[in-house]
Amino acid sequence: MSDFHFELSQAERDYLRELARLSIASRFDANVMLPKPVSEKLEQPFGAFVTLKKQGHLRGCIGHIVGDQPIRKTIIRMAKAAAFNDPRFPPVNKEELTDLTVEISILSPLVPCVAEDVVPGRHGLLVRRGPHSGLLLPQVATEYGWDRETFLSQTCRKAGLPANAWQQQGTEIFCFEAVIF
């Protein structure tokens, strides 16, 4: 499995975070204008997740794993989805905007892997079996201090599968890396 090398300048990272914030704010104010990209690099197609936190607690997280649009467009869509369409939370309200922190994860393409390849904290996981699938970002394993087996088991549980499904024939495991900021 190769290392994912996609670097963004501080200006590009700041732009994407501000783009996410303004995308959410535009729901409450039709006069909000989204800024033009600060570089051509932001026109490259990548999957991404936008994670919103309020006072350190998860407030929304939605992503798109396939890089089929420019990253800036994916960030706009996922920021709005995280704020208003995450089924685990009520929609963000206008009063919360100043309390939200935005974390962006830009994803490498998914690659099939085996359990032994998984490095918690470096890899994110997608586990799929039949109609069930679950995804956890690389930082989740680090935040919870999970080892490889726990990370695999928790990804299976997120998919609605038994915790040991990753050990069963017919379960597909995909790894990816992410640039997180």
Distances (CA, A) of 28 to 63, 83, 125, 163: 22, 12, 35, 41
The domain locations on the chain are 10-107, 111-180
Evaluate if residue 159 carries a pLDDT over 80.
yes
* Residues 6+ positions from 76 with CB-CB distance below 8 Å: 19, 20, 23, 34
Which pTM does this prediction carry?
A: 0.90
Q: How confident is the model at residue 101 (pLDDT cuts 50, 70, 90)?
A: very high
Q: What token pair was written down for 81?
A: 């989805």
Q: What token pair was written down for 102?
A: 């935005």
Residue 166 DSSP label? G
At 62, give phi and psi (nearest 5°): -140, 145
C-alpha to C-alpha distance for 66 and 45, rounded to whole angstroms: 8
The closest of 34, 35, 47, 38 to 6, measured between CA atoms, is 47
Evaluate if residue 123 carries a pLDDT over 90.
yes
Q: What token pair was written down for 55?
A: 């006072």
Query: What's the pLDDT score for residue 148?
Result: 98
Q: How confident is the model at residue 2 (pLDDT cuts 50, 70, 90)?
A: low
CATH topology of domain 10-107: Glycoprotein, Type 4 Pilin (3.30.700)
Evaluate if residue 69 carries a pLDDT over 90.
yes
Taking each helix axis from N to C end, the angle separating 71-84 and 10-25, rounded to the nearest 10 degrees, works out to 40
**Cβ burial, residue 163 (10 Å; 0-12/13-18/19+):** middle
Instruction: Give the mean model confidence (pLDDT) for residues 125-147.
Output: 97
- Residue whose tokens read 């026109």: 43
Evaluate if residue 3 carries a pLDDT over 80.
no
Give the tens place of pLDDT for each residue, 106-121: 999 999 999 999 999 9
Query: What's the pLDDT score for residue 1?
Result: 58
Query: What's the pLDDT score for residue 6?
Result: 85
Q: Does domain 111-180 have CATH number 1.20.1250.20?
A: no
